[in-house]
Amino acid sequence: MTSKLNITVLLGGPSAEREVSLKTGAAVAKALRSLGHTVHEVDPQPGQLKLGAGTQVVFLALHGTYGEDGSVQEELETLGVPYTGCGVQASALAFDKVLTKQRCVVAGVPTAKFEVLEKAGASWPRGWNPPVVLKPVRQGSSVGLQFVNAVSEWAEKLTESFRYDTQVLMEERIEGRETTVGILDGQALPVVEVRPKQGTYDYRNKYTAGATEYFCPADFPAAVTAKIQAAALGAFHAIGGRDYSRVDVMVRANGEPCVLEVNTLPGMTETSLLPKAAAAAGINYAELCQRMVDLALKRKT
């Protein structure tokens, strides 16, 4: 029987992904209470972190800036309280899409061709042909994501992407199937395939009920599945990940995987992708939350 704990769930926060984080946190808190734990729900502001009295472990249900970029992790290290998920350095690395890609390249993990843009008025880069993808370097949840299908769209879409950060990542548009791989305690979970009913897996399709279909385990030959999982684990290790993450991977028509990014604090509503993958591995939602807490407590000395 699980010993009863005093847990603070951090949710909400100041980022562009606040609303998603509130949903994640509410679902996590409900699951942990169902297991008999005492749960405090705290909506933190940077530099004003106050945990529930007697907190033994913190469950991070934050997304985006402050929650996912190493900032809150640093505050919790200072307080000496164990917390779920990746540490300070891995969180900061994974939140920066360019640093993640650079680590992947060094580690030999397959990733898309890319370039970093420093100003909103940048002209179309030489040596590139559309279609390309634009992403703010330090945002999550498809915030600011733009698909450029013709050079004529460049200026408008680049300006939109720069609304969310001072640097923008430009990548080749990978044609293929979109997948995501949950990682839990060093193991790759079953692959989830993501199929939007219309268009691409942007913010709207991600968070509009019924706009996207999910298949888990994804229907790939065993050898391709193994390659996808290996690429995801490779990226997770390249950024120094621990405990759990979710790695987004495109799969080209020839079955070759191409890592897009590592999410160190993936969505944790009951319909989110990491819980879907865990369920396919026989781990229910409450059990998944408990496993995450247990992994954090292992670090307590």
Model's pTM, two decimal places? 0.92
Q: Regarding predicted confidence, which is higher, 208 or 5?
A: 5
Annotation says 255 is catalytic = no
- Catalytic residue chosen out of the listed positions 15, 144, 267, 272: 267
- Catalytic residue chosen out of the listed positions 103, 261, 272, 285: 261
Residue-wise pLDDT for 51-75, tens only, equals 999 999 999 999 989 999 999 999 9
- Catalytic residue chosen out of the listed positions 18, 207, 255, 256: 207
Contact 214, 206 (CB under 8 A): no
- Catalytic residue chosen out of the listed positions 141, 161, 205, 272: 141
Distance CA 211, CA 180 (A): 17
Which residues have C-beta within 8 Å of that of residue 78, sequence separation ≥ 6? none
Q: What percent of the chain shows pLDDT beyond 70?
A: 95
What is the rounded average pLDDT for all residues in the chain?
A: 93
- Catalytic residue chosen out of the listed positions 165, 263, 272, 285: 263
Annotation says 17 is catalytic = yes
Annotation says 270 is catalytic = no
Annotation says 115 is catalytic = no
Annotation says 185 is catalytic = no
Q: How high is the pLDDT of residue 1? A: 44
Annotation says 246 is catalytic = yes
Distances (CA, A) of 41 to 49, 119, 122: 12, 39, 44
Distance CA 248, CA 260 (A): 5
Residue-wise pLDDT for 191-240, tens only, equals 999 998 876 666 665 666 677 899 999 999 999 999 999 999 999 999 99
Report the run of H or E that residue 297 belongs to, with start and end. helix 285-297
- Which of 156, 168, 172 lies closest to 119 in space, CA to CA? 168
Residue 252 binned pLDDT confidence (cut-offs 50, 70, 90): very high
- Catalytic residue chosen out of the listed positions 13, 246, 272, 285: 246
Q: How high is the pLDDT of residue 297? A: 97
For the chain, domains (ranges, CATH) are: 6-84+287-295 (3.40.50.20), 93-110+176-264 (3.30.470.20), 114-172 (3.30.1490.20)
Q: Regarding predicted confidence, which is higher, 153 or 271?
A: 153
Which residues have C-beta within 8 Å of that of residue 177, sequence separation ≥ 6? 193, 195, 218, 250, 251
- Catalytic residue chosen out of the listed positions 13, 15, 17, 161: 17
Determine how many CB atoms are found less than 10 A away from the CB of residue 163: 12
Annotation says 71 is catalytic = no
Annotation says 178 is catalytic = no
- Catalytic residue chosen out of the listed positions 68, 205, 248, 285: 248
